[in-house]
Amino acid sequence: MHTLIRSKSDAKAIYCSFIYAENKYQLRRDLWDNLNRHKFFVADKPWIVLGDFNSAFSQDDCLVGSSNMSIGMREFAHCVQQNEWIDIKSHGMQFTWNQKPKNGVGILKKIDRAMGNLQLLDDYPDVFVFFHPFRVSDHTPCIVKLQILKNNSQKPFKFANFLVKKDGFLEKVASVWSKPVRGVTMYSVVKKLASLKSPMRRLLFMQGNIHERVILLRKKLDEIQLAIDANPLDVSLREAESLCLHEFQSVSYDEECFLKQKSKADWLAAGDSNTKFFHNSVKMRNAYMKIHSIHDSSGDCFYGDDVYGVLVSHYSKFLGVQDPVDSLPGNLNFPNVLDPNVASNMVRPVTEEEVKKAIFSIGENKAPGTS
């Protein structure tokens, strides 16, 4: 059943398709065809597809069974790929259908799910699904929550890699790095890196909104090229096109580098018109990394803004408790010791070459300590 749901509060509209699929995969083919056709009607609007698909999507959706994908699973996966759906971040029950067993453990599968397109994540970046316990049914109740989580805390500083090629970058770094900082070397490095936050923020602010700049420059370039088509002998238009094209390519590359860094897609290079892929990867990654609900130590579930308070309360109790510590006996607990040569090698001074090798081995979009 295809529906259009419109919110009274903000007039936003969402296409929502409720699914109850046939048991046999041959009979489900009409459903897949119908959904493929409905995609053209939805176009670029938010779309949720949820319900009982009567098919697992992968082997992980089945407690037991074959290690190979069945025909029905492959056709279901093909439909998902054709319509460019992704699973909405879910909480609660992992398996959504159970066959009540007469003897043994029965069958558990995930055949109920809620999926959406990328436009849904654009309009509702905090959408998530909660699958409740079965109770007397053989299917889990599914609730989709669209509320926006309010987080007024300041965003942490994150360095954008494309800034290294901007005018003034090296001068700003040299200016901060030349200032003396008293203390051990590591303390000096940390303080200088912290001092770089402010000039790097200003440099990033000077670049403006690169996504909007790409859109405006693309529109400007189109207008100039249309004017050239009408007046091909106008030299000034040719010069304007050259300048606009150079600026457009530069800003487009900055946008692609920025999105590649956020998407963490290290296997794909920037500069090959991968902007849309990186942009979609960022939206998908952000959707899956968010914590929408949490259970406390008593088993109570909390949603939305209540999550922050539960986390703070848990770690306050966990880390704020003082317990007496018994003193350990001497060397009785450490019968195995390092060879003196190995021990001395561990505390020897680190050479500049070792430091350089370690730093240069870090990926271009990585920071020390990340994977």
Residues 6 or more apart whose CB falls under 8 angstroms from that of 12 comprise 6, 46, 123
Task: Output the tens digit of pLDDT for each of the chain's 371 residues.
Answer: 999 998 887 788 899 999 999 999 999 999 999 999 999 999 889 999 999 999 989 888 888 777 788 899 999 999 999 998 988 888 888 899 887 666 666 788 899 999 999 888 888 888 888 888 887 788 888 888 886 555 556 677 788 888 888 888 999 999 999 999 988 888 998 899 889 999 998 998 888 888 899 899 999 999 999 999 999 888 999 999 999 999 998 888 888 888 778 776 655 665 555 666 666 676 667 766 777 778 887 878 887 778 888 888 888 877 876 777 777 666 566 777 888 888 888 888 888 898 888 888 877 666 655 55
- The DSSP result for 262-325, as a single string, is HHT-TTS-TTSS-HHHHHHHHHHHHHHH---EEE-TTS-EEETTHHHHHHHHHHHHHHS-----
Residue 1's closest CA among 54, 40, 67, 48?
Answer: 48
| pLDDT score recorded for residue 152 | 59
- Select the CATH number that applies to the domain covering 2-145 from these four: 3.60.10.10, 3.40.1280.10, 3.40.50.2300, 3.40.50.1820: 3.60.10.10
Where does CATH 3.60.10.10 sit in the chain?
Answer: 2-145
| pLDDT for the residue numbered 22 | 92
Q: What is the pLDDT of residue 316?
A: 82
- What is the pLDDT at residue 51? 92
Give me the residues paired with residue 92 across strands.
Answer: 131
**Residue 367 pLDDT:** 63
Q: Cα torsion for 254, 260, 262, 267, to the nearest 10°?
A: -160
Q: What counts of helices (H) and strands (E) characterise the chain?
A: 12, 12
